[in-house]
Amino acid sequence: MFDELRDLYQEVIFDHNRNPRNFRVMADANRQVEGFNPLCGDRLTLYLKMDGDVIKDASFQGSGCAISTASVSLMTEIVKGMTEQQAEALFKKFHEMTTGKDENLQLEALGKLAVLAGVREYPARVKCATLAWHTLDAALKNQHTPVSTE
């Protein structure tokens, strides 16, 4: 089972790194936040188009390692159509999964994001996977200051 998950993890990471989804500047975004991981050099700008408390569209620009790029690519796909509250709850679950803080977390509840569960085995890579999510959290709170993982 673990080998199958690891293979899926690698396949999804490589796919989203090579072909990131929603990789574009969003001219009509009404929320925009920059994120930076000084340890790895990952840098991104997250764009959200909000309609009330619903995320109508999400995109990003930037460069980073495969884990960072795959994480933000998956995130922008999944949060479209979510309310701020749903996205905040997903951020919390994702953070608990990647940091290993919830040993009883049901990975099935995270859908495609479960493929990133393996980063918790590599503490230096957790910040790569969570950068986009901390940036999303700042955007949902309508903060304008850049987010750093340090």
pLDDT, residue 21, reads 97
Count of domains for the chain: 1
pLDDT, residue 85, reads 97
pLDDT, residue 102, reads 63
The alpha carbon of residue 9 and the mean position of all alpha carbons in its chain are separated, in whole angstroms, by 15
pTM attached to this predicted model: 0.90
Q: Which domain holds residue 42?
A: 2-143
Contact assessment for residue 105 and residue 93, using Cβ atoms and an 8 Å cutoff = yes
Rounded Cα distance, 92 and 25, in Å: 26
What count of Cα atoms within 13 Å lies in the side-chain half-sphere of residue 37?
A: 24
Asked if residue 75 is part of any domain, the answer here is yes
List the CATH number of the domain containing 79: 3.90.1010.10
pLDDT in tens, the chain (150 residues): 456 666 777 888 889 999 999 999 999 999 999 999 998 899 999 999 999 999 999 999 999 999 999 999 999 999 999 999 999 999 998 998 888 876 666 766 677 887 788 888 888 889 999 999 999 999 999 998 999 988
